């Protein structure tokens, strides 16, 4: 019983510590994101196709032209308590052969015809946009991979590059500033802050520590306190 109690208490306590470690790792990740956001924005020539991960979450100021015919609408993305799409368009980078996917903003869905897409402003000439680098456009869980077409559930750069023949950068851009007044009105971009799940980790840690304390309490009660109480009661009953 002592060995079982030690194993149970040790295991549950260790799992509680592990959850706290996970929370600490996510806090450190958020600190790294905040630190990267304070660095000077990257330009077209600064984008790295080999070691792109080191530039993750960096701010960018890019020049290029929209490949509007390749625009994709990611469905089931709410904003301001309305159902709609995130608009993703490749930007052909000026001075480079590569293009990069840009999550440009949000548009509402037509409630009468779910396949009807709203018009999206796309300047024909060169534009300069401000944003930050992310791994991929915002993703949702899906049971089966999205097919082709303008309306999709998710979009991956590598698969889209193979589908379209575009030379796409491994990272994508979340546009954070409007290009002009028309762009601001047509494409709101109140991107939700990433959920680090800290409360979940703290909740799990509390549960594991509570279970550890329960195992310890049960062992002390049944193996130490109860036997002593029985012994004392037995002695009191003896003549």
Q: pLDDT tens string for the chain (239 positions)?
A: 889 889 999 999 999 999 999 989 888 877 877 787 788 899 999 998 888 888 888 999 999 999 999 999 999 999 888 999 999 999 999 999 999 999 999 999 988 888 888 888 887 889 999 999 988 888 887 766 666 788 999 998 888 999 999 999 999 999 999 998 888 888 999 887 666 678 889 999 999 999 999 999 998 988 888 888 877 877 777 66
Note the pLDDT of residue 51.
84
Kindly report the number of other CB atoms within 10 A of residue 90's CB atom: 27
Q: Which fold has domain 39-186?
A: OB fold (Dihydrolipoamide Acetyltransferase, E2P) (2.40.50)
- Domain parsing of the chain, residue ranges: 2-24+197-237, 39-186
Q: What is the pLDDT of residue 52?
A: 84
* pLDDT score, position 28: 83
In the structure encoding, which two tokens stand for residue 142, read together?
A: 């899906």
State the pLDDT at residue 166. 94
Give burial (CB, 10 Å; 0-12/13-18/19+) of 106.
buried
| pLDDT at residue 114 in the model | 80
Whether 181 contacts 123, CB under 8 Å: no
Count of CB atoms within 10 A of residue 60's CB?
23
Helices (H), 71-197: 157-164, 181-186
Write down the pLDDT at residue 141: 76
Q: How far is CA 199 from the centre of its chain?
A: 15
3-state SS, 108-135, equals ECCCCCCCCCCCCCCCCCCEEEEEEEEC
């Amino acid at each position: 019983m002592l060995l079982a109690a030690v194993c149970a208490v040790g295991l549950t306590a260790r799992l509680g510590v592990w959850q706290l470690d996970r929370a600490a790792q996510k806090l450190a990740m958020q600190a790294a994101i905040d630190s990267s956001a304070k660095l000077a924005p990257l330009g077209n020539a600064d984008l790295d196709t080999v070691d792109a991960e080191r530039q993750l979450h960096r701010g960018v100021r890019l020049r290029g032209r929209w490949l509007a015919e390749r625009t994709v609408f990611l469905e089931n993305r709410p904003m301001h308590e309305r159902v709609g799409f995130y608009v993703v368009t490749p930007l052909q980078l000026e001075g480079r052969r590569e293009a990069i996917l840009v999550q440009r903003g949000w548009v509402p869905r037509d409630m009468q015809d779910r396949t009807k897409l709203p018009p999206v402003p796309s300047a024909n000439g060169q534009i300069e946009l401000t944003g930050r680098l992310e791994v991929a456009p915002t993703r949702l869980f899906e049971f089966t991979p999205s097919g082709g077409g303008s309306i999709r559930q998710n979009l991956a750069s590598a698969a889209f590059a193979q589908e379209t023949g575009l030379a796409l950068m491994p990272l994508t851009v979340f546009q954070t500033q409007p290009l002009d007044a028309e762009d601001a009105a047509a494409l709101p971009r109140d991107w939700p802050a990433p959920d680090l799940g800290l409360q979940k980790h703290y909740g799990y840690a509390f549960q594991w520590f509570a279970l550890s304390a329960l195992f310890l309490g049960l062992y002390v009660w049944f193996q130490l306190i109860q036997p002593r109480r029985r012994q004392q009661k037995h002695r009191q009953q003896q003549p």
